[in-house]
Amino acid sequence: MKELKEGDLERIEKAEGEGLQVAMYSWFLKRKKRGTLKVNVQDPKRTNAILKKSGITYENIQDQLPEDLAKILEVDAVISGTFETDKPMSDGASIALGMVFGFFGSTNSAVLNMSIHNGTDAELLWNYNKKVRGSIGSDSDDLVNKLMRKASRRLGYTE
């Protein structure tokens, strides 16, 4: 944190958010290709381009209603939520604990709170909140895959 300059944290958050969109979209595409996802999911590049043209930015998207976003994006439902990560222990510290005490600590964790709202009336169709812990060498993509595997068991649009 000492090395960060003005605006660095915001740029990191935005890049992580875009990376999360792509990782989740990739996860959905794989399920669609396998035939286990019953709905289509819009490409985040398209979503972000439409939002940008409509004046909706990273800074003001939280002020938008789900039904308004659905109308702008011309979709039936909107997926939204938060994804928070931390890295309480470095890989090196985890390995050291494993060698000295025989157990490895969690090197990162993530909390996902994801909702799907109906596009016409913003009715909450589904909500999922889960925390997972990573292990040595895990990254955000690993955590997304772990979370999405768990979430898909409760999502009505998958088999």
Predicted pLDDT of residue 94? 34
**Beta-carbon count within 10 A of 113 CB:** 14
When computed from its CA atoms, the radius of gyration of the chain, rounded to whole angstroms, is 18
Predicted pLDDT of residue 55? 97
Listed in sequence order, the residues at least 6 apart from 109 whose beta carbon sits closer than 8 Å to its beta carbon are: 85, 86, 88, 131, 132, 133, 134, 143
Locate all alpha helices (DSSP H) within 35-139, ordered by sequence: 44-53, 66-73, 91-101
Question: pLDDT digit of tens for each residue in the chain (159 aa)?
Answer: 567 788 887 887 888 888 888 888 988 899 899 998 889 999 999 999 999 999 999 889 999 999 999 999 999 999 998 888 775 434 443 333 334 433 334 447 778 888 999 999 999 999 989 887 765 456 666 777 777 777 776 776 666
* Domains of the chain listed by start with CATH number: 8-152 (3.40.50.10610)
| pTM beyond cutoff 0.85 | no
Q: In what order do the strands lie in the sheet with 77-86?
A: 77-86, 109-118, 124-133
DSSP E strands: which ranges in 51-136?
77-86, 109-118, 124-133
